[in-house]
Chains A and B, each alone.
Chain A
Amino acid sequence: MSAFLLNRLFQSIVLLVIVSIIGFTVLNLMPGGPLAQFGLDPGMTQKDVERLAAQLGLNRPLWIQYLDWAWRLMQGDWGHSFRDGSSVLAVIGRHLLATLLLMGTSTALAIAAGTWIGIRGATHRYSLFDYCATVGAMVALSVPTFWFGLIGIYIFTLKLGWVPAGNMYTIGDGSVLDYLHHLILPSMVLSLVHVAIWSRYMRTATLDALSQDFVKTARAKGVSERRILLKHVIGNALLPMITLAGMQLSSILTGALVTETVFTWPGMGRLFLDSLGYSDYPVVMGLLIFSAILVVLGNLIADIVIATVDPRIRLA
């Protein structure tokens, strides 16, 4: 196990270095840059822009900028945002909780609903429920999330007045109930696509488990269908789901770009879009590295959990 972890750690470091070099190069090679936002200001002259570029160190050769950034990162300094001067870790920290709240809720909803729909679809194959679930999943996967978001706001906010149009809480309130009230619509909308994905995977995994010999044996022994499902099928069907959940860990934390925008949710997704829009290189690089670490971690955790759950798999 320790050899496995060491090997994984080495691979992860190499991966992070490669990701950072590619990310840094691509970002800095893009025309425009962080000072482009001043191009339309009648009082900002070309000389002002050049002065700012020098003060931010943007006029140095790219490889020196990269080495400087990497050296600081190794010392725990993730840099400072070009936009507001805050440290990158502080910027990420400010948005992390909002994303965790939204993505955590919607993922929990998606797993619960998706698992149930998938199992029921598999056990009631070709029933009306199964057809409805299949069509529903196709619709949820095909239609853009922002459309669901806008339709949701139109119906449930503007027409029915049940839920707020967006925002994480009411300014000046911020009680637990208020947070929950604001969570309803965005988490439901965001979970739609994940319900679709989970239910499809779960249906396939359940059908696969149902066709296994041990199920046939259990049936031949006269075990009840309910017991077969609970004891033999669901446990086996959930195994591939663990890998899926591990892979989704990074997306859970890096947020939902579109949903956060439609619902004015101050999370990581919107931070990423904003930072990219302003070419705020330190924050974009910070998010990139953060996300890469999560991908590596997610996969590692999934491997370990699977090995623990499934005795046939051993990590060497």
Chain B
Amino acid sequence: MTKGSATTSSYSRRDALRMMAIGGAAGLIAPNLLGKPAHARTPTKPTGRVIVGLGQEPTVFNPLMAHIEVDDGVHFSVFDALFRIDPQGVIQPNLAVEVPDQKNGGISEDGLKWRIRLRDDVRWHDGKPFSAEDVKFTLELITSPNFRSWRTAGHALVRDITVLSPTEISWRMEEAFAPYLSFLTETFIVPKHILEKEANPNNAAFNQAPVGTGAFKWGKRVAGDHLELVANTEYFGDGPHIERLVFKYIPDLTVLYTQFKSGDIDLVGQPYITPDHYVEAKTLPNRVVTLLPRTSFESFYLNLERPQFKELAVREALYAAIDKEAIIQGLYYGVPTPTETFMPRQSFFFNANLTLHQFDLNRAGKILDQAGWAKGADGIRAKNGVRLSFSNSTTSGDPLREQLQQFLQQTFAQVGVEMKISNLPAAVMWGEFWMQSQFDSVIVGSSYLIGADPDVTNRLHSRSIGAKGGRGSNNAQYANPEVDALLDKGARTFDPEARRAIYSRVQELVRRDLPFLPLYQSNSVEGLKKGINGFVPNGNTRTESWNALAWYWAS
């Protein structure tokens, strides 16, 4: 076991086997994914084209600017980060020649000094050489006050960036922060020689025609329709093997699936094939359709500051009244996987020993009886003047979630709990309503991790409650001093085994306290044409196109 970073760990044999079993073929060929397909017969020069269908349009091409998941497919293809993360969550070098850790001296013993060695054979798409100056420029741009940067967490701790040579850079961290290595896998390096000339980088021409070091160069964009990337034949790594990579925007999910059926698109990207089409999709000729685990997890999320939910007994009773199996099989066509935690089951940090949920309406009723929540004349329970009645919201226009709400409304009513449905459009739902905890309860599917790092301070630390002036998105307003202490410790700890113990305990406590009622971990129904090789899912990135450089058509 390395003593270095949390995610550069070597795995035990048992861990490796477990992950391979979960990831199937992905696990077996994953070690060769970063640019070098496991199978031979890749074309000697880039050949052919792959059209990826997406439900949202990629519009932000400067990877440092605020963007959403769907833009990542372009970023991963046009740019490189210092490191990449493979499907097992192991960090691999990309623009760097090695992953720094405390053992190889890249990270000091106290975790404060970082030193990165870079490749010397990388060129920007315009032919200019890549160097440590570009890395320095990128890290400084992110925290520049006038730049509309994406996440600044982690980057804000970086101080005294020093270019030691064109291939070596160092910096000091304000405090030890183990997740930063994982953050850097999502921090793409941009060219200093182009962006430093811009008076306002927010409106730079570069943002509409980016120049990167990645395996694909910018081709052209037809706004509202598609964008096309072309192979970078000078790429320093193996690949790319396809000549053109096209992202096609198809907003309607039924139409997205129809175009997959009709052959107009080669691969279904986010938001993938909807569960109701899964059974039919599997029977399509010349298509490969599989279930792929994602890191997002669906929960019945509670606002713990509402008087109805302050008592643990209420949360336990509600959880016992959820027929998870019926929901997954009956409503979601068996696609998702039940879970007890926010940690993806593919993660090194997943706690498999949590108490398993059991659907039991009698038990739910007894818990509430014992806690003194008695039924009133209207059949709804109440205690000390508080009725066990609340609203539940989710994004309107999501038929599966709307059915789930109706199903829960009925089962909750059987134990004397009133749930009112009050849905909102996404643009309203995830704004202040969500960030400032203005809801009673919501049904939400969200990721808790950044990259593969297990740090969930943003979501679960009491310091992160936005409604109370906190920095993060702990919208359940969950506060547990032991969880706080563990999260603080975890962020300062670099040893993966020690971190595993810390985050296992966090999961135990959260499962016990139930700030949200876990429903399931999402699986995406991925579909691609037979003949596309090298496609491998990677739950540690937010895009299916993370390794498009390794794709190729069977000859």
Contact = CB atoms under 8 A, between A and B. Distances in A.
B472 A45 contact: yes
Contacts of A153: 255, 258
Among the interface residues A81, A84, A164, which one has the most CB atoms of the partner chain B within 10 A?
A84
B110 interface: no
Interface of B is mostly: mixed
Contact of B428 (A31, A43, A168): A31
A274 B222 contact: no
A31 B66 contact: no
B10 interface: no
Contacts of B207: 84-85
15 contacts: A30-B428, A31-B424, A36-B426, A37-B426, A39-B473, A40-B447, A42-B450, A42-B456, A46-B473, A48-B153, A49-B435, A84-B59, A94-B222, A165-B255, A166-B255
A276 B428 CA distance: 11
B224 A46 contact: no
B64 interface: no
Nearest to A150: B254
Contact of A42 (B248, B444, B459): B459
B458 interface: yes
Interface string B285-296: 000000000000
Contact of A33 (B65, B431, B466): B431
Contacts of A157: 258, 262
Chain A interface: which size bin? Answer: 35 or more
B246 interface: yes
B208 A42 contact: no
A271 interface: yes
Nearest to A87: B203
A36 B428 contact: yes
Given A31-B432, A39-B430, A45 B458 contact: yes
Contact of A168 (B150, B225, B433): B225
Contact of A95 (B224, B228, B428, B473): B224
B69 to A, nearest CB: 8
Interface of B: 49, 51, 57, 59-61, 65-66, 68, 146, 148, 150-153, 183, 202-203, 207-208, 222-226, 228, 244, 246, 248-252, 254-255, 258-259, 261-262, 264, 424-435, 444, 446-450, 456, 458-459, 464, 466, 470-473
A37 B203 contact: no
A39 B431 contact: yes
Contacts of A52: 66, 148
Contact of B250 (A36, A56, A264): A264
Given A80-B203, A266-B225, A42 B473 contact: yes
A131 interface: no
Given A42-B447, A85-B208, A261-B255, 11 more contacts: A30-B427, A31-B424, A31-B432, A32-B424, A32-B432, A35-B431, A42-B446, A45-B151, A46-B473, A166-B250, A172-B49
A277 interface: yes
Nearest to A39: B430
Contacts of B258: 153, 157-158, 165-166
Nearest to A46: B466
A166 B225 CA distance: 11
A32 B430 contact: yes
B250 A91 contact: no
A261 B68 CA distance: 21
The 10 closest A-B pairs by CB, nearest first: A39-B430, A266-B224, A36-B431, A32-B431, A32-B428, A46-B466, A266-B225, A84-B59, A43-B151, A94-B223
